[in-house]
């Protein structure tokens, strides 16, 4: 029994006509619960402890828990018991001291907001353990209170699963090269387009982009039309291989934004290309 609370409560009991507890937990439970989820749960836990003590005719400890339940019901932040206020067996102090440190780490670290019900159970379980440990004659009750504390602390101390790294999916790229002044596909081009269509299906892609280019030989308007024809040739083959036409976006660049910068009029094989890019 808490030494300070014992003095107050025993004094009240001594001056009372009845030997029963002075504070009725059931009456307190009928009053509105506080808006704070932690205090609401803490009040309920303390009132449950009060009823358990009253059932054993321990009116004094019953009133101590009922008082704490009433304070929490009123919105007062009630701290867990201080071990120095109790007459505890010396052998029990190390475990209880460690337990209180763990509890305070959680309460001060945001558990009352993140896991209010578990935090309330941990605090009430700790206070119950302290009270039963002081009496030290009901090992089953000591073990039950300690288990209540440990079960709640296991929930509070459980580490959230590490977030899974988000895989960065890089676009898969295929390049189809064309002869000079041509939009006709050749043997190797068909193989590359077939690979691109297969990759589209295997990756379950939702987007496929074509960027069609020409080198910088020839007039700009002519090269615009030539790159458009190259894009159309590749698109038609992809559709033939099962890629939905509405999944394909084709951009004809002509001789603008060439992959390999050159002077105007230069024939460059690497710029006569349609680049296929796939992404998830």
The pLDDT of residue 43 is: 96
Residue ranges of the alpha helices (H) in the chain? Answer: 3-14, 25-29, 37-55, 59-73, 93-108, 111-114, 116-135, 139-157, 187-202, 220-240
Per-residue pLDDT of the chain (280 residues; tens, 9 = 90+): 444 444 344 333 333 333 455 889 999 999 999 999 999 999 999 999 999 999 999 999 999 999 999 999 999 999 999 999 999 999 999 999 999 999 999 999 999 999 999 999 999 999 999 999 999 999 999 999 999 999 999 999 998 787 877 666 566 889 999 999 999 998 899 999 999 999 888 877 668 899 999 999 989 999 999 999 999 999 999 999 999 998 889 999 999 989 999 999 999 999 999 999 987 5
Token duo for residue 221: 């308007």
Cα 131 to Cα 22, 124, 134, 150, 204, distances in angstroms: 19, 11, 5, 16, 63
Instruction: Could you list the beta-strand ranges (E) of 122-268.
Output: 172-177, 207-213, 248-254
The pLDDT of residue 99 is: 97
Partners of 275 in the beta sheet?
175, 211
CB of 132 closer than 8 Å to CB of 145: yes
Token duo for residue 139: 């090992």
The pLDDT of residue 18 is: 38
Rounded distance, CA 272 to CA 182, Å?
9
Token duo for residue 200: 């589209």
The pLDDT of residue 205 is: 64
- Residue 199's nearest CA partner among 171, 234, 222 is 171
Residue given tokens 């050159």 in the structure block? 262
């Amino acid at each position: 029994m808490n030494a300070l609370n014992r003095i107050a409560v025993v004094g009240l009991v001594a001056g009372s006509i009845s030997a029963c507890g002075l504070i009725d937990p059931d009456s307190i439970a009928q009053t509105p619960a506080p808006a704070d989820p932690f205090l609401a749960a803490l009040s309920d836990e303390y009132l449950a402890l009060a009823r358990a003590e009253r059932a054993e005719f321990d009116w004094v400890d019953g009133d101590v828990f009922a008082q704490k339940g009433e304070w929490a019901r009123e919105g007062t932040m009630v701290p867990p018991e201080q071990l120095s206020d109790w007459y505890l067996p010396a052998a029990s102090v190390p475990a209880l001291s460690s337990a209180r440190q763990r509890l305070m780490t959680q309460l001060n670290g945001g558990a009352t907001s993140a896991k209010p019900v578990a935090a309330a159970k941990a605090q009430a379980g700790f206070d119950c353990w302290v009270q039963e440990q002081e009496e030290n004659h009901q090992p089953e009750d000591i073990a039950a209170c300690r288990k209540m504390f440990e079960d709640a602390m296991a929930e509070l101390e459980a580490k959230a699963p590490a977030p899974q790294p988000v895989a960065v999916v890089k676009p898969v790229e295929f390049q189809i090269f064309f002869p000079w002044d041509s939009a006709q596909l050749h043997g190797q081009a068909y193989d590359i387009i077939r690979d691109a269509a297969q990759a589209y299906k295997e990756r379950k892609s939702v987007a496929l982009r074509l960027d069609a280019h020409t080198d910088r030989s020839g007039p700009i308007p002519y090269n615009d039309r030539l790159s458009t024809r190259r894009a159309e040739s590749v698109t038609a083959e992809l559709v033939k291989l099962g890629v939905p036409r509405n999944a394909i976006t084709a951009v004809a660049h002509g001789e603008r934004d060439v992959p390999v910068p050159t002077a105007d009029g230069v024939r460059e094989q690497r710029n006569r290309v349609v680049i296929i890019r796939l992404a998830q």
